[in-house]
Amino acid sequence: MKQDRKISSLEQEIEANLKRVYEDVAKQDVPDRFTELLNKLREADKSSAGQPK
């Protein structure tokens, strides 16, 4: 009984920590390198389309 309770609380802690590991990163601001990359990709699209949209 005691062992079961211990495991079920362990399971809950695992679920909470799993979410925390993921959300800690998901909540961070996206680094500048990605904003810069997106701008480059958009620029490349514009020039390959021949004219700005």
Partner 1 sequence: MKDPKEEIVEHLSAMRAFAMSLTRNSALADDMVQDALVKAWTKIDSYKPGTNMRAWLFTILRNTYYSHHRKARREVADVDGEMAASMAQKPDHDGRLQMRDFNRAFDQLNDEQREALVLVGAGGFSYEEAAETCGVAVGTIKSRVNRARKQLVEILKMSDDEVMEATDIVTTGIVSNQKNVA
Q: Is 47 in the site for partner 1 (CB under 8 A)?
A: no
- Cβ(46)–Cβ(53) below 8 Å: yes
- Nearest distance in Å: CB 18, partner 1: 5
d(CA 34, CA 41): 10
2 binds partner 1 (CB under 8 A): no
In the complex, the smallest distance separating the C-beta of residue 52 from partner 1, rounded to whole angstroms, is 14
With CB under 8 A as the contact rule, the residue among 2, 4, 30, 49 that binds partner 1 is 30
